[in-house]
Amino acid sequence: MAKFMDVHHNMKGITREQLIEAHQNDLAIEADERVHFEAAWADPESGVVYCLSEAPSAEAVQRIHERTGHRADEVHPVPLRV
Amino acid sequence: MAKFMDVHHNMKGITREQLIEAHQNDLAIEADERVHFEAAWADPESGVVYCLSEAPSAEAVQRIHERTGHRADEVHPVPLRV
């Protein structure tokens, strides 16, 4: 398992409720791919959303996001953390 | 005070030691701007680094990063968090 940061770039105007709903939808199915979404941060003004996860691969992260209707624009492994 | 995520895009090959040193350098002077860098995640392969902070403004975050020699390419307020 590894850590990943994925980024969505076109979420302008996202509300707190929409972020919570998207995250809950991911959590509901993440076990299918042995992914766990730990946190997400959003900037409604620029429309960027960052999601931190633990997963077996970037593809697994993306499959969950695709199934819940919000494909990530980037998925990066982040093996280093301070 | 608000939360910020800043992003550096040209850190290919960054090592764990370099990430720790950069973070320590930020921590050493962050109080000058009432910033606190909470965490950083790095992908040495793509060269992207994400830093999560609490700060009075994006400019304050950037001033600390500039003084320690690693200006951020993006600084986004992230008022929403799940």
Task: Give the residue from chain B lying closest to A13, CA to CA.
Answer: B80
pLDDT digits (tens, 9 = 90+) for A12-46: 999 999 999 999 999 999 999 999 999 999 999 99
DSSP secondary structure of B13-70: T--HHHHHHHHHHHHHHGGGGT-EEEEEEEETTTTEEEEEEEES-HHHHHHHHHHTT-
Classify residue B10 by its DSSP letter.
Answer: -
Task: Give the residue from chain B lying closest to A77, CA to CA.
Answer: B43
- Strands in A2-8's sheet, in edge-to-edge order, are A74-77, A2-8, A48-55, A36-43, B80-81
Give the distance from residue A22's alpha carbon to the nearest chain B alpha carbon, in angstroms. Answer: 10
- Encoded tokens for A44: 């409604």
Q: Least CB-CB distance to A5: which of B3, B50, B81?
A: B50
Do residue B80 and residue A44 have CB atoms under 8 angstroms apart?
yes
Residue A12: C-alpha distances to residues A22, A34, A42, A77 (Å)? 14, 29, 9, 25
Contacts of A15 (CB under 8 A, 6+ apart): A44, B80
Query: Is 0.90 exceeded by the ipTM?
Result: yes
> A with B: how many residue pairs have Cβ under 8 Å apart?
71
Classify domain B2-77 by CATH number. Answer: 3.30.70.3090
* pLDDT of amino acid B60: 98
pLDDT digits (tens, 9 = 90+) for B27-60: 999 999 999 999 999 999 999 999 999 999 999 9
- Encoded tokens for A12: 């302008």
Query: For strand B48-55 and strand A2-8, is the pairing parallel, antiparallel, or unpaired?
Result: unpaired
Do residue A41 and residue B81 have CB atoms under 8 angstroms apart?
yes
B15 burial (CB, 10 Å; 0-12 / 13-18 / 19+) is exposed
